[in-house]
């Protein structure tokens, strides 16, 4: 059976790892710390696919019927 790339599935939104400068900009823009961001575990299939590390911040771009697209940020944490 061939490997299936979940990032190509139509219900999986676009995930990107932010650079350290981009991460700093997001935290400053919203006046928050890394611990205040919503979390995504290192066990998540997209985190694994992107090879994201603990404390990386992911930018998730979802399609939205009302806004066109919406952007969410998640910090990678250690899963249980």
pLDDT at 74: 98
The tens digit of pLDDT for each residue in 34-64 reads 999 999 999 999 999 999 999 999 999 998 8
- Counting the structural domains of the chain, the total is 1
Give the domain CATH number at 52.
Answer: 3.90.940.20
Q: Can you spell out the DSSP letters for 51-68?
A: T--TT-EEEEEEEETTTE
In a domain, 30, yes or no: yes
- At 9 the pLDDT is 77
Q: Is 29 left (phi over 0), alpha (psi -120 to 50) or beta?
A: alpha
Neighbours of 40 (CB within 10 A): 22
Q: Is there a domain that residue 1 lies in?
A: no
Determine the structural domain holding residue 66 and report its residue range. 6-77
Top pLDDT among 3 and 39 is at 39
pLDDT in the model for residue 2: 56
What pTM was estimated for this model as a whole? 0.87
């Amino acid at each position: 059976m061939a490997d299936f790339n979940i990032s190509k599935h139509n219900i999986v939104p676009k995930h990107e790892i932010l650079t350290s400068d981009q991460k700093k900009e997001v935290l400053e823009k919203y006046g928050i710390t890394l611990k205040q961001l919503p979390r995504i575990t290192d066990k998540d299939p997209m985190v694994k696919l992107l090879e994201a590390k603990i404390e990386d911040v992911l930018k998730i771009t979802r399609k939205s019927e009302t806004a066109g697209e919406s952007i969410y940020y998640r910090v990678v944490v250690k899963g249980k």
